[in-house]
Amino acid sequence: KVIGPQLREQYPPLTEEELDGFFEEIPQFMPKMAPGKFRFDFSLLPSHTYNQAARDVFITSFLAEVQNGAYSQDPIPQEHRTRMAVGTALATHLEYLRKEYKKQRSPEDLAMQARRDAVNSRKKTVSTRVHATEVWLLLWQTYSYWKVVKRLC
């Protein structure tokens, strides 16, 4: 059970070669998607094809283990032995692990995020100033219009 600072070290993101190999099904690069030989990539979305394949393997192997009596000392109720129930429980746990994984960023990631935040902050400031100027011009034009209308009437 690895949760905490070691999560990112224990489960690094797939390399581009591994991911390309997965899609091209190249055996030397493709992480094995078999019971006991699969992993999730927490840097990818849960809906990513790779994580969906890992999810399917996990559900199938987990249900097979339950069927073979792996959890007979603390039995799992029958209503929780469906693909849907196991998938939902897994999705909830993976969401938690993904949040933990995101917390553990490298110094480079943190610096990049700080730069992005600074740029976005400047964009918001400029956008707000432009919007305020547009509102002011609109009000001035409206005021000027009514001033002219008053004089004409």
In the 8-state DSSP scheme, what is residue 76? P
Segment 36-83, tens digit of pLDDT: 778 899 989 999 999 999 999 999 999 999 999 888 888 889 999 999
Q: Is residue 92's pLDDT more than 80?
A: yes
Q: How much is the pLDDT for 114?
A: 80
Q: Is residue 13's pLDDT more than 80?
A: yes
Q: Is residue 3's pLDDT more than 70?
A: no
Q: How much is the pLDDT for 91?
A: 95
Q: Report the C-alpha gap between 33 and 22 in whole angstroms.
A: 9
More confident position, 2 or 74: 74
Mean pLDDT over all residues of the chain? 81
Q: Report the C-alpha gap between 10 and 42 in whole angstroms.
A: 11
- Residue pointed to by tokens 């897994």: 90
pLDDT band at residue 85, thresholds of 50, 70 and 90? Answer: very high
Q: How much is the pLDDT for 125?
A: 73
Q: Report the C-alpha gap between 149 and 153 in whole angstroms.
A: 6
Segment 100-140, tens digit of pLDDT: 888 877 677 777 778 888 887 776 776 667 677 777 777 77
Q: Report the C-alpha gap between 2 and 127 in whole angstroms.
A: 44
Q: Environment class of residue 61 by beta-carbon count within 10 Å: exposed (0-12), middle (13-18) or buried (19+)? A: middle
pLDDT band at residue 84, thresholds of 50, 70 and 90? Answer: very high
pTM reported for the whole predicted model: 0.62
Tell me the average pLDDT across 23-31: 66
Q: Environment class of residue 7 by beta-carbon count within 10 Å: exposed (0-12), middle (13-18) or buried (19+)? A: middle
Q: Environment class of residue 87 by beta-carbon count within 10 Å: exposed (0-12), middle (13-18) or buried (19+)? A: middle
